[in-house]
Amino acid sequence: KPQLVASNDRFCRFLEEYCPVVTETYYPTIWCWEGRVQTLLRPFITSRPQVQYRNELIKTADGGQISLDWFDNNDSSYYPDASTRPTVLLLPGLTGTSKESYILHMIYQSETLGYRCVVFNNRGIAGEELLTPRTYCAANTEDLEAVIHHVHSLHPSAPFMAAGVSMGGMLLLNYLGKAGRDTPLMAAAIFSAGWNVFESIESLEKPLNWLLFNYYLTTCLQSSISRHRQILEKLCDMDLVMKARTIREFDKQFTSVMFGYRSVDDYYEDASPCLKLKSIGIPVLCLNSVDDVFSPAHAIPVETAKQNANVALVLTSCGGHIGFLEGIWPRKCTYMDRVFKQFVQAVFEHGNKIFSM
């Protein structure tokens, strides 16, 4: 059984009644239960539901642009009126886009419930051009704030919540910690967030983890910015950036420089959601596995979460990073997908029972 951490009895009862999956025993796929194996295999094993997007490019205050991929769900029989159709904003991980299998599965789950989805693609990684020498990071919430305001302004009468995965979850938590109750979002779901960036980076620099994850992700980051090299050279020494062999080296030469931090440590402190957990002002459900090398168990802020009545943590003993595979042949729904579906439905259809907390 997962460990459910929540100080608010009312929130606990709400989850037990309307999101019972968080109290059910999770049985990981027996032949790939180890966390690193789950993490590595999920992208290859899980199916990729077909989703037809409508793309929208929105302008930012600094002259840049953000690519949003909409799944309007205009065939929704539950919510035929688009103006009041519930909307879920989805935030992918570090180098992820709307094409990731975990995002496609969230949209598939939302489609069955009649909801609309919009995917926030970070600057410069979804095929659009960088108009200014700026990309994204886990700490800077300006682009996310602009997207939330834009989506809400288009559908002000529609119930609105968000779900973030990995770095997308960290960004969402950092935004919520800054916004408090001053947000149009009703609630949020967070999956496999790295709570303390220092601990996450240290874990990923262990030899096996560096070989399996760190080096690959570093090359993905380099690849995502290489096509924008000409405009980014105005800010950074791109030769040094392209020589990085770890995420820490990349962040030292690129991310911390781009966003004006004195050092990479200053950036990592600002990017760590554990420091902002106390300030979150809306209901948030966070799913982590304690065998996730991207977010080590000892760095999950259990005691801090107990100090905020709006926060609930669901901790599984297995599942890895965005893994949570279950069943003998885990092609379709994962435990994470089921948590997402039940919590989103609980918020949109029974949320009034927790909003008076």
DSSP code string of 114-144: T-EEEEEEPTTSSSPPPSSS----SS--HHH
3-state SS class at 162: strand
Identify the CATH number of the domain defined by range 3-196+273-353: 3.40.50.1820
Residue among 273, 259, 263, 86 at smallest CA distance from 168:
273
The residue type found at 281 is G
pLDDT score for 356 = 55
How far is 197 from 348, CA to CA, in rounded Å? 32
- Domain-wise residue ranges, the chain: 3-196+273-353, 197-271
pLDDT score for 13 = 93
pLDDT score for 344 = 98
The residue type found at 202 is E
Q: Are 151 and 160 in contact (CB under 8 A)?
A: yes
Residue among 300, 302, 283 at smallest CA distance from 344:
283
Residue among 264, 236, 335 at smallest CA distance from 20:
335
Q: Is residue 9 classed exposed, middle or buried when 0-12, 13-18 and 19+ CB atoms within 10 A define those classes?
A: exposed
Quote the percentage of the chain above a pLDDT of 70: 99
pLDDT score for 355 = 63
Residue 65 sits at φ, ψ, to 5 deg, of -140, 150
The residue type found at 212 is L
3-state SS class at 287: strand
Query: Distance between terminal CA atoms of the chain?
Result: 26
Q: Name the β-bridge partners of 23.
A: none
pLDDT tens by residue, the chain, 357 residues: 999 999 999 999 999 999 999 999 999 998 887 899 999 999 888 989 999 999 999 999 999 999 999 999 999 999 999 999 999 999 999 999 999 999 999 999 999 999 999 999 999 999 999 999 999 999 999 999 999 999 999 999 999 999 999 999 999 999 999 999 999 999 999 999 999 999 999 999 999 999 999 999 999 999 999 999 999 998 999 999 999 999 999 999 999 999 999 999 999 999 999 999 999 999 999 999 999 999 999 999 999 999 999 999 999 999 999 999 998 888 888 999 999 999 999 999 998 887 654
Q: Which residues are catalytic?
A: 166, 292, 321
Kindly list the strands in the beta sheet with 284-289, ordered across the sheet, starting from the edge strand earlier in the chain: 3-5, 311-316, 284-289, 188-191, 160-165, 87-91, 116-121, 65-71, 54-59
Q: Is residue 52 classed exposed, middle or buried when 0-12, 13-18 and 19+ CB atoms within 10 A define those classes?
A: exposed
The secondary structure of residue 232, as a DSSP letter, is H
Provide the residue count of the chain: 357
Q: Are 21 and 335 in contact (CB under 8 A)?
A: yes
Tell me if the pTM is above 0.85. yes
Each residue of 123-162: pLDDT tens digit?
999 999 999 999 999 999 999 999 999 999 999 999 999 9
3-state SS class at 327: coil
Residue with structure tokens 């918020």?
347
pLDDT score for 44 = 87
Each residue of 218-231: pLDDT tens digit?
999 999 999 999 99
